[in-house]
Amino acid sequence: MEVERVQAIASLSLTTDTIPAEFIRPEKEQPAITTFRGPVPEIPTIDLSDPDQENLVRSIANASKEWGIFQVVNHGVPTDVITKLQAVGKEFFELPPEEKEVYAKIPGSQSIEGYGTQLQKDIDGKKPWVDHLFHKIWPPSTINYRFWPKNPPSYRDANEVYAKYIREVADKLFTSLSLGLGVEGHALKEGAGGEDIVYMLKINYYPPCPRPDLALGVVAHTDFSALTILVPNEVPGLQVLKDDHWIDAPYIPNAMIVHIGDQIEILSNGIYRSVLHRSTVDKGKARMSWPVFLEPPGEFVVGPLPQLVNEEDPPKYKAKKFKDYAYCKLNKLPQ
């Protein structure tokens, strides 16, 4: 079955100033109606190079309890490494459709890897205004290069270099998050899969949209990863739900955005919270983002850390294999 890509629909829609009905969100989701325009608190920005370790741990823990999201600066990933990652991803999405389709998701596959459009079931039959490319970037044993574009030729190198640096950022975050819970620094990383944690890169491509007031790039969701570390392009669009208001995440050049995912909420027994977020789209420019989802291996069982559970604080979540958690979430089944 031929899948219609949003990029193709977008190029047809730009001349008409309308979008197909399946992209028009219900009023309760439309960004023009639901985005909060009043004074808003700022999503925390944290300097990862802070020499005061206690202050860094406290800042990350507070942001993860109160927001479930924060931006990090001075994170140690060189600017040119991020620039190259973004350049090769943009080049891929600018290729002719038939070249991108070589990397299409395999129909009927259990894996989400590959070039595609719709990911989750939508109860109302609505569609998000986004195309994407998924592939793993670490550990080497999990990588399937079939889904890594060969064009541009520098794609592989740019992603391998980025993978090296992002693992260092992730380790620093896991350590601070663990210490912020009062447990040993290695506890959360080990609880999420240790050295076997899978780094799944996704490139989101949100084409220009004639009616950004009516559509969403990605609907409201929490990530089922442990952590998500994301770099966006300069077109804003990420929104987070805070105190029942949808608020815009500001674009900070060279910052990385960190989302607490469902698995860290579970491991922390609800002390840290997975952030509900969505993505809006832009009328004049393509928005792009490069999230890396840090996920446990499929067979790995995740549950609240034993150190955080006692008679006064019983477990709030069931321990289960990550693949079972992901299946239930993707198919909108109870956990």
Give residue 2's pLDDT.
53
pLDDT of residue 121: 54
Cβ count near 234 (within 10 Å): 10
- Which conformational region is residue 54 in: left (phi greater than 0), alpha (psi within -120 to 50 degrees), or beta? alpha
> Beta partners for 287?
206
Nearest-angstrom CA–CA distance, 283 and 26: 19
**Of 298, 168, 281, nearest in space to 224 by CA:** 298
pTM metric for this prediction: 0.95
Q: Which of 126, 221, 285, 321 is catalytic?
A: 221
CA-to-CA distance for 195 and 109, rounded, in angstroms?
26
Predicted pLDDT at 55: 98
Q: Which is the catalytic residue, given 131, 136, 223, 259?
A: 223
Residue 279, classed as helix, strand or coil, is strand
Q: Which of 271, 14, 297 is nearest to 142 (CA)?
A: 297
Predicted pLDDT of residue 1: 38
Residues of the chain with pLDDT under 50: 1
With contact defined as beta carbons under 8 Å apart, do 11 and 207 qualify?
Answer: yes
Residue 72 backbone dihedrals phi, psi, to 5 degrees? -120, 135
pLDDT at 164: 98
Catalytic entry in 75, 132, 202, 242: 202
Query: Which residue stretches of 155-298 are H helix?
Result: 155-180, 187-191, 262-267
Specify whether 164 is catalytic: no
Q: What contacts 333, CB < 8 A, 6 or more positions away?
A: 327
Cα R_g (the chain), whole angstroms: 19
**Runs of H (alpha helix) within 38-107:** 53-66, 79-93, 97-101
The answer to whether residues 31 and 216 touch, using CB atoms and an 8 Å cutoff, is: yes
* Phi, psi dihedrals of residue 308, rounded to the nearest 5°: -105, 5
Q: Please tell me the predicted confidence (pLDDT) of residue 120.
A: 58
Q: Which of 42, 149, 160 is nearest to 94 (CA)?
A: 149
Backbone angles phi, psi at 45, to 5 degrees: -115, 130
Residue 221 appears among annotated catalytic residues: yes
CA 86 to chain centroid, in Å, comes to: 15
| Alpha carbons within 13 A on the beta-carbon side of 330 | 12
Spatial contact of 235 and 285, defined as CB atoms under 8 Å apart: yes
Helix pair 155-180, 53-66: axis angle to 10 deg = 90
CA angle 97, 101, 107 (to 5 degrees): 145
Q: Coil, strand or helix: which one is 115?
A: strand
Q: Which pLDDT score, from 0 to 100, does residue 331 have?
A: 83
